[in-house]
């Protein structure tokens, strides 16, 4: 590892057993201000700042009492929720193992499992007023396929939110370039008073990810 270039940028030398691609990834991580900030502030991932920035714009966390975190791993979003809402009930779910977070109930299981929605609501002790999702499908390297697979997760997350959210609640989900498709946006607009797309500054410029923010859930009678 060496320092060079303007501003003391850290450069990583390619070593035996490390591909050029992994070297570029490591160099990007070492020079990413959000990665450095996350380490300094105790967050598990730079993704924490995406939620912080979305909250600054949309006041997502204001007054929330029961929060569901879909795709919780590694836990950065849940950490933000706990820090800003210390009295809220928080439950998360992910296929991947997640180290414990104080005050957060975590299920390691597939969100698509039929039993998952009931477990999440039961753990909260009532209907959530905020459902946040940073879920993304494992990529296969084919952009259209990757987008479709992630959109399927967004659709499932939305269906869950519509089934369980408290009236006035909020649903936030990761989507990709172009945002949610028109059918999905129409479904959100039928059920929420406000639907907007946003790309928080913490989302890398080269990344195709965006977030859809649906606020003001109208209630089950809106279906």
Pairing of strands 209-217, 170-176: antiparallel
Q: Please check if 113 is assigned to a binding site.
A: no
Q: Please check if 210 is assigned to a binding site.
A: no
* Nearest-angstrom CA–CA distance, 198 and 188: 15
Task: Look up 196 and say whether it is catalytic.
Answer: no
Q: Please check if 134 is assigned to a binding site.
A: yes
Which of 174, 189, 199, 205 does the annotation list as catalytic?
Answer: 174
DSSP code for 139: P
Q: Please check if 181 is assigned to a binding site.
A: no
Look up residue 221 and give its two tokens: 């009678």
* Nearest-angstrom CA–CA distance, 125 and 66: 8
* Nearest-angstrom CA–CA distance, 34 and 204: 10
Please state the separation of Cα 168 from the chain's center in Å: 20
Binding-site entries for S-adenosyl-L-methionine: 75, 77, 94, 110, 134
Residues serving a catalytic function are 174
Binding residues: 75, 77, 94, 110, 134
């Amino acid at each position: 590892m060496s320092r060079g270039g303007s501003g003391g940028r850290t450069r990583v030398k390619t070593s035996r057993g490390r591909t050029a691609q992994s070297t570029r990834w490591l160099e990007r991580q070492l020079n990413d201000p959000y990665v450095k900030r996350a380490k300094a502030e105790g967050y598990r991932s730079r993704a924490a700042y995406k939620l912080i920035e979305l909250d600054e714009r949309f006041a997502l966390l204001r007054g929330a009492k029961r929060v569901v975190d879909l795709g919780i791993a590694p836990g950065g979003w849940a950490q933000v929720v706990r820090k800003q809402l210390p009295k809220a009930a928080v439950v998360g779910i992910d296929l991947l193992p997640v180290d414990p977070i104080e005050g957060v109930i975590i299920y390691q299981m597939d969100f698509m499992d039929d039993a998952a929605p009931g477990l999440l609501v039961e753990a909260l002790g009532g209907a959530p007023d905020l459902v946040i999702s940073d879920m993304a499908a494992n990529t296969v390297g084919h952009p259209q396929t990757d987008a479709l697979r992630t959109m399927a997760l967004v659709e499932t997350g939305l269906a869950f939110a519509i089934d369980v959210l408290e009236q006035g609640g909020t649903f936030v989900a990761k989507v990709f370039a172009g945002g949610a498709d028109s059918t999905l946006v129409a479904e959100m607009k039928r059920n929420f008073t406000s639907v907007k797309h946003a790309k928080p500054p913490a989302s890398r410029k080269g990344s195709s990810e965006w977030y859809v923010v649906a606020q003001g859930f109208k209630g089950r009678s809106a279906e």
